[in-house]
Amino acid sequence: MTPAPGDETPPVVALSPNEPGTSMTGARSLIRTLVHAKVDVCFANPGTSEMHFVAALDAVPEMRAVLALFEGVVTGAADGYGRMTGRPAATLLHLGPGLGNGIANLHNARRARTPIVNIVGEHAIYHQRFDAPLQSDIVALASNVSKWIRVCASSDDLAADATDAVAAAMGPPGGIATLVVPADVSWGTVAGRAARRRPVPPIGSVPADTIESMRKVVASGEPVVILLGGRALRERGLRAATTIAGATGATLFAETFPARLERGGDLPPIERLAYLGEMAIGQLTSARHIILVDAAAPVSFFAYPGQPSELWPTGCELHALAGPGHDVTGALEALAASVRPSWSSARGGTSVRPAPSFARPTGPLTSESLAAAIACVLPEGAVVVDESNTAGVFLSGATEGAPRHDWLCNTGGAIGQGLPVATGAAIGAPDRPVICIQADGSAMYTLQALWTQAREGLDVTTVILSNRAYAILNLELARVGAGAGGPLARRLLELSSPDLDFVALAQGMGVPAARATTAEELVVHLERALHEPGPHLVEAVLPIGFG
């Protein structure tokens, strides 16, 4: 299995990109610096200001440059790569508009705390005063999604600035670092000085008194909920949390849309907090204490008339065991040992369950039979990227006892992340099959990712849930008190007249594709796709609406 982000020892970034007696452009120095820092994949959609970076790639072949046809694919792929490897990929974006096109998936990556190094080209420093057509405030755009931003001032500073960017992205916690590189900084000659050392800050330990305080909470006899997020949803965290729950009677929940959840096989199962606020309130209704472990306090995704924004009950106390920047796994294991002193992390929390039998579904294709089809074909070690939205309501339950796999969700709610994240995950974990379960409406935001998958020969199987509607918005129309909507309102939520032909769209970008209208057909197409190398797409035709 690929190591979980946060489980690796953060490297010290110490670079000397220039050989003695040589000179090179700033762009070449930048790429060499990134490669020395183990940032050796760059998802790119370059323009004129980035041409010296492009030209320098041949001088530094250790950098794998991956072309995407839209910046939202670039940034989403960097997110998927970072989630699977725990280290940043670089992005190469063209000026403010290029960064702007990528912001939606950078928003999702920020919510996932994924390490990413954005390299954003800028006009030459002396050219910026002329307000050329592509001039914009790049720093203002980057500030919405970045934990660290710097505009490089000279070619000689570029290696050191890149070193700082990598360290900032690695955290902890992980995040997005944006380095703005003017064109003349790229083409300028570097004097040859070495980059300064910049260690990645260590992960902070949770104090012993916090562990003791949480021990008293879980031992109080009052109803306790432990809400897990982030790195707590890896194997070690799940096993420790399960031990705590077993010893104290606490209830475990995972955050609604985790960045990466390890599940299946002999891992302890965990229920996710519901997306619908009313259902989440029901899950938490008896709680008198909620312990947050690398998770945010549970709130409603949107405001609804007459409904609360905070999902925990009145009188419930919120506590934080560990958060971003802490040793989350170590904190859970320490708490497990405090409530069960004989517990060992090597064996604790192991649940021995008989392997379930997944029958091949038959009959009409519905959301339920689709979930059963995914469950019966899911291979060992798969990475599942889930942007299924409403049509995927049965997926989590159906696949609970499947072979070991990882589940990656849309952490920020900006749609169009599934196909790009699957692309980056396949590059980050090339030895693992990737299955992207993708709603049809959000697929159209970043469908260009299929072309990159074909070009790179990636083992990604995409299942398009084709219900010809923005079904989630049909649901939300009523929930926000706007009523059922008339024909003009419904027309804005329907993906028909004409229907989208995902088989033709995929084939047009070099991805073999098939259409399934029954559960039997879906299983057959999925089995074939998973046994053949390279990308494949299956369009699963569901009933219109919710499926």
The SS3 call for residue 94 is: strand
CA 459 vs CA 63, 211, 431: distances in Å? 21, 43, 9
- Among residues 35, 112, 30, the alpha carbon closest in space to that of 76 is found at 112
- Among residues 410, 508, 427, 512, the alpha carbon closest in space to that of 461 is found at 512
Quick one: pLDDT at residue 493? 84
Cis peptide leading into 61, omega within 30 of 0?
no
CB atoms inside a 10 Å sphere around CB 233:
27
CATH topology of domain 208-339: Rossmann fold (3.40.50)
What does 50-68 look like in DSSP terms, one character per residue? GHHHHHHGGG-TTSEEEE-
Quick one: pLDDT at residue 349? 52
Alpha helices in 408-541 (DSSP H): 418-428, 440-443, 449-456, 471-479, 487-491, 502-508, 519-531
CATH number of 12-199: 3.40.50.970
Quick one: pLDDT at residue 7? 42
Quick one: pLDDT at residue 472? 77
- Among residues 117, 179, 118, 115, the alpha carbon closest in space to that of 324 is found at 115
Structure tokens at 514: 């098939």
Domain residues of the chain, as ranges? Answer: 12-199, 208-339, 367-541
In the numeric block, the tokens 């475990």 are attached to: 252
pLDDT tens, per residue, the chain with 547 residues: 444 444 443 443 334 444 444 568 999 999 999 999 999 999 999 999 999 999 999 999 999 999 999 999 999 999 999 999 999 999 999 999 999 999 999 999 999 999 999 999 999 999 999 999 999 999 999 999 999 999 999 999 999 999 999 999 999 999 999 999 999 999 999 986 656 666 778 899 999 999 999 999 999 999 999 999 999 999 999 999 999 999 999 999 999 999 999 999 999 999 999 999 999 999 999 999 999 999 999 999 999 999 999 999 999 999 999 999 999 999 999 999 999 988 776 655 555 555 666 889 999 999 999 999 999 999 999 999 999 988 889 999 999 989 999 999 999 999 999 999 999 999 999 999 999 999 999 999 999 999 999 999 999 999 999 988 887 787 788 888 887 788 888 888 888 889 999 999 999 999 999 999 999 999 999 999 999 999 999 999 998 875 4
Quick one: pLDDT at residue 495? 84
User: What whole-number distance in Å separates Cα of residue 417 and Cα of residue 407?
Assistant: 14
User: What whole-number distance in Å separates Cα of residue 447 and Cα of residue 382?
Assistant: 22
Q: 248: which residues sit within 8 A by CB, 6+ positions away?
A: 218, 219, 224, 339
User: What whole-number distance in Å separates Cα of residue 179 and Cα of residue 396?
Assistant: 38
User: What whole-number distance in Å separates Cα of residue 299 and Cα of residue 308?
Assistant: 9
Quick one: pLDDT at residue 14? 38
Number of continuous H segments (helices) and E segments (strands) in the chain: 21, 21
User: What whole-number distance in Å separates Cα of residue 405 and Cα of residue 208?
Assistant: 33
CA 540 vs CA 109, 331, 365, 412, 516: distances in Å? 28, 43, 8, 26, 5
**Phi and psi dihedrals of 340, rounded to 5?**
-140, 85
CATH topology of domain 367-541: Rossmann fold (3.40.50)
Quick one: pLDDT at residue 443? 97
The SS3 call for residue 96 is: helix
Quick one: pLDDT at residue 290? 98
- The reply to whether 208-339 shares the fold of 12-199 is yes
- Among residues 331, 329, 348, 350, the alpha carbon closest in space to that of 340 is found at 348
The SS3 call for residue 183 is: helix
User: What whole-number distance in Å separates Cα of residue 363 and Cα of residue 369?
Assistant: 8
- Among residues 347, 359, 216, 224, the alpha carbon closest in space to that of 286 is found at 224
Alpha helices in 285-433 (DSSP H): 328-339, 367-377, 395-398, 418-428
Structure tokens at 533: 């190398």
Task: Name the strand (E) or helix (H) holding 253.
Answer: strand 251-254
User: What whole-number distance in Å separates Cα of residue 366 and Cα of residue 519?
Assistant: 8
CA 79 vs CA 46, 323, 521: distances in Å? 18, 20, 32
CB atoms inside a 10 Å sphere around CB 461:
24
User: What whole-number distance in Å separates Cα of residue 506 and Cα of residue 272?
Assistant: 33
> How would you class 304 by CB atoms within 10 Å of its CB: exposed for 0-12, middle for 13-18, buried for 19 or more?
middle
The pTM of the full predicted model, rounded to 2 decimals, is 0.93
* DSSP β-bridge partners for residue 540: 465, 516
What does 276-300 look like in DSSP terms, one character per residue? SHHHHHHHHTT-SEEEEES-PPPB-
In the numeric block, the tokens 């057909």 are attached to: 521
Quick one: pLDDT at residue 277? 93
User: What whole-number distance in Å separates Cα of residue 536 and Cα of residue 512?
Assistant: 5
